[in-house]
Structure 1
Amino acid sequence: MKITSLLLAAAACVTSAAMAQPPSLSLERIVADPPLAGRLPRQAEISPGGRWVSFLRPSQADSEVLELWAQPSAGGEPRKLVAAADLLAGAEQKLSEAEKMALERQRISQRGITGYQWCGQDDSALLFPLSGDLYLVRLTGDGPRAQRLTQSPDAPKQDPRCTPDGQRLAFVQGGNLMLLPLSGAATPQPLTSDGSDTVTWGLADFIAAEELARQRGFWWSRNGQALLALRVDESGVALKTRAQIFADRTAMTEQRYPAAGAANAKVTAFVIDAATGQRRELALPAGAEYIARAGWFADGTPWLQWFNRPQTRLTLTEFKAGADGAWQPHDITVETDPAWVEVHDDLIETPRGLLWSSEASGRRQLLLLDRTSGRRTPLTQQAEAVAHAVCVGERGVVFAGFGDLGKRQELYLQPLAGGPAQPLPGAAERQWRDAKADNACARLLVTRSAWGQPPALSLQTLGQTGAIALAGDAPSPDLAAYANQPQPLALMAADGRTPLNAFYFAARAAAGVRHPVIVMAYGGPGASTVNWAWGRDMALIAYWQQRGFGVLTLDTRGMAHRDRDFTRAHQAAFGKTEVADLFTAVRQLPRLVPSVDPARIGFFGWSYGGFLGARAMLDADTPFAAAVAVAPVTDWTLYDTAYTERYLGLPGTDGKAPNYASAHLPSRAALLSKPLLLVHGTADDNVLFEHTLRLVEALQNAGKTFDLQIYPGKAHGIAGRAARLHLYRTMDAFFERHLKTGH
């Protein structure tokens, strides 16, 4: 489950009594333009040859509209390459339902140019789709020149990809792969022909995009002569009719949604000759349920990474061309785990073998694989988990790794010959750094954020000190007034021995007066919310502080960035370990912060955090006085296969397997005894609106009163300034009513 919630943010502010009172912060200012954090670059990339840094930048007129910008890596001012308004000549931007769903998979809610890629390896052109057509921007000595490549906006083009030499591109239209030369007045030619409502070529299926972080479905070979393409057949997937309820209409949208225990899409892989269209299948065994990653080795060998259905086995398979032209599989390595294997992107060719990552040691580390024998040679020996590899070059492997129990992320250089890794220049105790690289792993595009400091970009040359700061609109001067240091708390999990990451933010209240607290937690696997990175919730928490609330953010067992034992706490159970940790931590809070009133502690959570919030209130032992649950999962048989089965297994034919029954919220409705606010967007295609409706019905049948707020036409993120402002006001009024003295 990807999180579009506020809770991916872990930044906030604490104001001590000795400090000057900051100016009053309103909810209107939190959602207004320009943003308090400034207009942050999005999707920043360093060009293949390292000459440019490209990024999407919010428009000065409207931060919800993205424009394509670039800045020379050698220095110089950033320049706007193109904006949607420049190309559409006043026409309204159009998106098909498939395009909207693809953007939702990537958690992109803005308009304008929402995605792009460098075309070819010579740093001279960028490619992007817009309103049904494709455009190319060439970087010339006379400035950027935009070129419209197609002229059929009513037939949307999805996921365009250039060949490595930049001479041709492929894209998906009507479910088929199309080929378009970039020279002359050529027209697109189909590479496949059986695309339909249920069959697509070259696109990520729902599960791959939503749960496996694979957003693409075809890959060019290094020489540009062939494509490795995935064919997705959804005919066996149950058809879900989803009502997109708007204020003035209801649109019925049919969606192939693979709910837990049901059939997945059938995904098969083919190598397609770009000149002839001839294709040959890359056959996988019957147990290959999910294709997690795919690509080509430098010698022209295609490879696939695939999971079995329980995701306890991840296999890396390459395919060698036989004498008869068929592709023969060879399993390079197999990763197993009795709970589940985590998906990753750590596969890079090096002079000493394939770079790979594994949790076999108890925490994720990098190793080298012999491609022929599968022999493993450990490489990194970090005290905490490796986050991911960035690149491999002459100087070694650049990777990101965790520290401070997962609260810090730093960049390191690891020699391929072995030995200790060294932090890159600029390392600090309380910050969060990540990087992307050019093809040579010589220049790094470093993103750095820290507590109260929004992400900033810089260009760093490996092996040299110093960095070139890159463009970004400065934060509002007001931001510094709210960005103070948090108070880390030493909280223990319910097992009495595992430390939990937690930050406390003091209420602005009179000395000696007990105050209420709002707890913000996610609780689910695959994410961490308590760390030293910048977070978008900072202003909201600052607002609650000035309203007299303390705020506690907490990561329970089962969440990310820790060792394997910590992250596997959800095995075969939702609503148990994380609830026990949450309750235990909340009961420790008054001892560590004596000014907290234990009778007035509230909860706010979104997505899995919404499930956690609702589950916490449907419990006779709850320590919470009130809770807000946004977009909660309430019945795990309604959620998708890959995510749910990874943790809970199969639900059984009746959907009542013990692991599912214990996490089923409607059956706990009679336990509600304190105020609960449920919030959901009616067009949510991730956690379907049906989840909240099922809980609502159960609560009504149990005779329970509760609050309900719905957002017509809104998806999982409830995006848009007006909707977000209304949500904040609703939560503010709810907590004011139920947590303040006298209520």
Structure 2
Amino acid sequence: MATTFPRQHARTHRFTLGSPRSFTVAPDGTRVAFLRTRSGSDRAHLLWVRDVAGGEERIAADPEALLGGAAEELSPEERARRERSREGTAGVVGYATDTSLRMAAFALSGRLFTADLSGAADPNGGKAVELPVPTPVVDPRPSPDGRHVAYVAAGALRVVAATGEDDRALAEPGAGTVTWGLAEFIAAEEMSRTRGHWWSPDSDRLLVARVDDAPVRRWTIADPANPQEEATRVAYPAAGTENAEVTLYLLGLDGSRTQVAWDRERYPYLARVHWSQAGPPLLLVQSRDQREAAYLSVDTATGATSVTLTERDAIWLELFGGVPAWAPDGSLVRIADEAGAAAEAGEAGEGGETPGAPGSPGARVLMAGARRLTTSALHVRAVLDIGERDILFSASEGDGARSDEAEADTASGPAARSAPGDIGVYRVPLDGGEAVRIADEETPHLASAVRGGGTLVLSTAVPSRPGTRVVLLREADSAPLGTVASYAETPVLATAPRLLHAGKRRIPTAVVLPTGYRESDGPLPVLMDPYGGPHGQRVVAAHNAHLTAQWFADQGFAVVTADGRGTPGHSPGWEKAVSRRLASVTLDDQVEALHALAEDFPLDLSRVGIRGWSYGGYLAALAVLRRPDVFHAAVAGAPVTDWRLYDTHYTERYCGTPQNDPEVYAGSSLITDEGLSLVDADSPHRPMMIIHGIADDNVVVAHALRLSSALLAAGRAHEVLPLSGVTHMASGPEVAENLLLLQVDFLKRSLGVAG
């Protein structure tokens, strides 16, 4: 039987299996550790080590050998950790190393293993050994000197010698609601802080988060398909309700314990922790409304903190990867949003405040102390590494670089990097100078990198080629040192997305037409395929990102993906335009992009469907309920339908609280206690398919059920597809394959598409 795209897409975990990932480079640049599965359909990752000079690769840890062929068993804590990080594969899905990259630690089936990363190849699948410790183990991390491993088991933070001896608890929960050393739900889900313990550079103590979720409301998640199973009680901090109590302690290997003190009433969110040889422990803490943040230095002798910098913003302060951190010269490295003239003049500096900028595009810049290292030509995304003399970071083209092209931009788009979706890797000197782009091949592209000891690992995807290319470069002169092979499968179809800016707002957009489409074929029914909300960029310069759109296009649609206001990668003002008006802004931009593209592409505006998942599901349902004059059918996957039922850190950033801003929630939600929200009772009824995983603990199934009840009460026909045992990821091969088939069938029926 021939392989179909839906089957291959599901079996290969969206073509990610077999592709190398999670790179770590030795500080002397001689070795690189990474994860990769054996093939493009094997879901179990192995830990590999590559010798840079000779190019030889060896397996450092093989889960099949270590488990003796037994199936992997996941503890509830590990399942939750993987759900928060959207990890849907198996085997060694994460690891941590000592500073010298001689030893790695990882958990497998709740057991603790270490692997030798410096020795010769072993025919039995590496020199990984199991340490006899209490299970189930979560998030093991070696000390920088490699002599100990810290890990979490049964809510306790424990330490064991790398030899397997002297296992002991440094902190135990003492109550069922307490954990030590793990990130709380809200940090892992919304702050991208997935860790809860950090070693000191001297390997003699740790900073450890203590989380008590007793104040958090309990929700029940049950599996109606298996009524004999007990329901699960989860602590879910819904908007306007209590969060977990998070405190921080210095725990010494000698048994000492010191609490780290800061104004937790003013700054309840522990957003970032950094500890390196370059300075004292550094914390980034946020106010509940996320309009104020403080960078705190920790006195390791007393636990007292001092304020290094305070930031304020009239809308909100964004969090970024890789910062804050100390540079080797002691300056504070951070990414800052600057507004208008202040950004161009470089007025904000260390010790100052970042001004809010309602209505201003502003600039997102890289700072080292009072030095502004980048201009508005670059929209800084994350810091990748801080070296002795420079900083490695990722960035998109900023509004400053785009403005000169605004008048010339057309449906075909300007050349090279001026097309949307480009994310590059750059290097900028710490003492000032121009940021230099690091590129191995064509632009625009989607790139990331890690480095160490003069060796740089650059991963690049481009629109014209499937998959990701990983090359090793000598950083001094970009000389090639080899390519890390990918075992990912080649897709059974190819795509050539048109990346462009649409409409007066120059909305980043991708358009995909059926393979072999000719103008004589006539106008095409349209499928809008957005995420369209915060933290979700869909228009990227990478081939595989548009494969599903191509498959839908080949079923007879023109597929449009639009990253309207609120999505990342454009400017601070673009992202913050959704503040207190999520629904209206994100929906307006989908309509604008659609109508602007209809002037240049063969779009049949009398047959427009929309599909999406999570925020995209919310946007799809919103579209047919509030703009049925534009949208004629919707597939709403795992939609947030009532923002009162979503979590604190995300929802309150955009909507305030239900107590103080009830009108914002009424205007942004699809439903209220009275029924459908802001829907004209006389408006046309459009077909809607609602899909939701029953086991979803992020966007709980109550969202879909309440929307269905409101639609029923309003007399609006709709379809509901409940997914038993499925979480927010919906990544199982059978589920993923059939979801595509069922969606296209629904859209064809609803829009009258033949075939």
Which 5+ residue runs of structure 1 have no aligned equivalent?
Answer: 1-22, 370-375
Matched, 1:561 2:569: yes
Distance 1:24 1:69 in 2: 30
Equivalent residues of 2:55, 2:482 under 8 A apart: no
Matched, 1:705 2:717: yes
Pairing partner for 1:599 from 577, 599, 606: 606
Pairing partner for 1:162 from 130, 134, 142: 142
Matched, 1:726 2:738: yes
Distance 1:487 1:91 in 2: 46
Distance 2:649 2:147 in 1: 38
Matched, 1:349 2:326: yes
Match of 2:460 in 1: 448
Pairing partner for 2:748 from 733, 736, 739: 736
| 171-180 vs 661-670, which moves further | 661-670
Matched, 1:340 2:316: yes
Equivalent residues of 1:609, 1:629 under 8 A apart: yes
Structure 1 residue identity aligned to 2:108: L
Secondary structure at the aligned position of 1:258 is classed as: coil
| 638-647 vs 185-194, which moves further | 185-194
Pairing partner for 2:670 from 658, 662, 665: 665
Equivalent residues of 1:406, 1:531 under 8 A apart: yes
Secondary structure at the aligned position of 1:694 is classed as: helix
In the TM superposition, residue 405 of structure 1 has moved relative to its aligned partner by 6.8
In the TM superposition, residue 541 of structure 1 has moved relative to its aligned partner by 2.2
CA deviation digits over 1:513-535, x for unaligned, max 9? 22212111111112211121343
Structure 2 residue identity aligned to 1:131: S
Matched, 1:465 2:478: yes
Structure 2 residue identity aligned to 1:326: T
Match of 1:372 in 2: none
Equivalent residues of 1:195, 1:201 under 8 A apart: no
Secondary structure at the aligned position of 1:618 is classed as: helix
Match of 1:127 in 2: 105
Secondary structure at the aligned position of 1:135 is classed as: strand
Call closer, same or farther: CA 1:354–1:443 in 2, change over 3 Å: farther
Match of 2:444 in 1: 430
Distance 1:465 1:29 in 2: 36
Equivalent residues of 2:511, 2:559 under 8 A apart: yes
Secondary structure at the aligned position of 1:470 is classed as: strand
Call closer, same or farther: CA 1:629–1:219 in 2, change over 3 Å: same
Match of 1:6 in 2: none
Match of 1:328 in 2: 304
CA deviation digits over 1:62-105, x for unaligned, max 9? 52222222221223232222222211223332111121011000
In the TM superposition, residue 55 of structure 1 has moved relative to its aligned partner by 2.0
Equivalent residues of 1:37, 1:474 under 8 A apart: no
Task: Work out the percentage of aligned pairs sharing the same amino acid.
Answer: 29
Call closer, same or farther: CA 1:315–1:33 in 2, change over 3 Å: closer
Match of 2:591 in 1: 583
Pairing partner for 1:573 from 581, 584, 595: 581
Matched, 1:610 2:617: yes
In the TM superposition, residue 384 of structure 1 has moved relative to its aligned partner by 2.8
Call closer, same or farther: CA 1:518–1:658 in 2, change over 3 Å: same
In the TM superposition, residue 232 of structure 1 has moved relative to its aligned partner by 0.6
Equivalent residues of 1:602, 1:626 under 8 A apart: yes
Match of 1:233 in 2: 212
The number of aligned residues is 696
CA deviation digits over 1:152-210, x for unaligned, max 9? 4xx31111111110001111111111111123x52421111334321111110001000
Matched, 1:283 2:290: no
Secondary structure at the aligned position of 1:575 is classed as: helix
In the TM superposition, residue 478 of structure 1 has moved relative to its aligned partner by 5.4
Distance 1:638 1:67 in 2: 39
Call closer, same or farther: CA 1:327–1:742 in 2, change over 3 Å: closer
Match of 1:364 in 2: 364
RMSD, aligned CA: 2.3
| 610-619 vs 388-397, which moves further | 388-397
In the TM superposition, residue 460 of structure 1 has moved relative to its aligned partner by 1.6
Matched, 1:513 2:517: no
Pairing partner for 1:685 from 685, 697, 720: 697
Equivalent residues of 1:49, 1:123 under 8 A apart: no
Equivalent residues of 1:458, 1:467 under 8 A apart: yes
Match of 2:69 in 1: 90
Residues 64-213 of structure 1: matches in 2 within 5 Å?
Answer: 64-118=43-97, 120-139=98-117, 140-141=119-120, 143=122, 144-152=126-134, 155-183=135-163, 186-213=165-192
Distance 2:597 2:374 in 1: 37
CA deviation digits over 1:599-637, x for unaligned, max 9? 111111110000000111111554111111100000000
Secondary structure at the aligned position of 1:408 is classed as: coil
Distance 2:527 2:230 in 1: 37
Call closer, same or farther: CA 1:406–1:264 in 2, change over 3 Å: farther
CA deviation digits over 1:22-56, x for unaligned, max 9? x9954334334597676212323223443222222
Equivalent residues of 1:627, 1:675 under 8 A apart: yes
Ranges of 4+ aligned residues in structure 1 off by more than 6 Å: none
Call closer, same or farther: CA 1:78–1:536 in 2, change over 3 Å: farther
Call closer, same or farther: CA 1:498–1:514 in 2, change over 3 Å: closer
Structure 1 residue identity aligned to 2:636: A
**TM-score (normalizing by structure 2):** 0.88
Structure 2 residue identity aligned to 1:121: T
Secondary structure at the aligned position of 1:327 is classed as: coil
Distance 2:480 2:451 in 1: 14
In the TM superposition, residue 278 of structure 1 has moved relative to its aligned partner by 2.8
Match of 1:388 in 2: 382
Distance 1:400 1:112 in 2: 29
Pairing partner for 1:549 from 554, 557, 560: 557
Secondary structure at the aligned position of 2:720 is classed as: strand
Distance 2:143 2:8 in 1: 45
In the TM superposition, residue 413 of structure 1 has moved relative to its aligned partner by 2.0
Equivalent residues of 1:243, 1:253 under 8 A apart: yes
Secondary structure at the aligned position of 1:426 is classed as: coil
Structure 2 residue identity aligned to 1:517: V
**TM-score (normalizing by structure 1):** 0.89
Secondary structure at the aligned position of 2:250 is classed as: strand
Pairing partner for 1:483 from 479, 485, 495: 495
Which 5+ residue runs of structure 2 have no aligned equivalent?
Answer: 344-361, 398-417
In the TM superposition, residue 126 of structure 1 has moved relative to its aligned partner by 1.4
Distance 1:270 1:32 in 2: 44
In the TM superposition, residue 337 of structure 1 has moved relative to its aligned partner by 0.9
Matched, 1:295 2:300: no
Call closer, same or farther: CA 1:52–1:561 in 2, change over 3 Å: same
In the TM superposition, residue 292 of structure 1 has moved relative to its aligned partner by 0.3
Secondary structure at the aligned position of 1:673 is classed as: coil
Distance 1:106 1:605 in 2: 20
Equivalent residues of 1:35, 1:476 under 8 A apart: no
Distance 2:438 2:16 in 1: 26
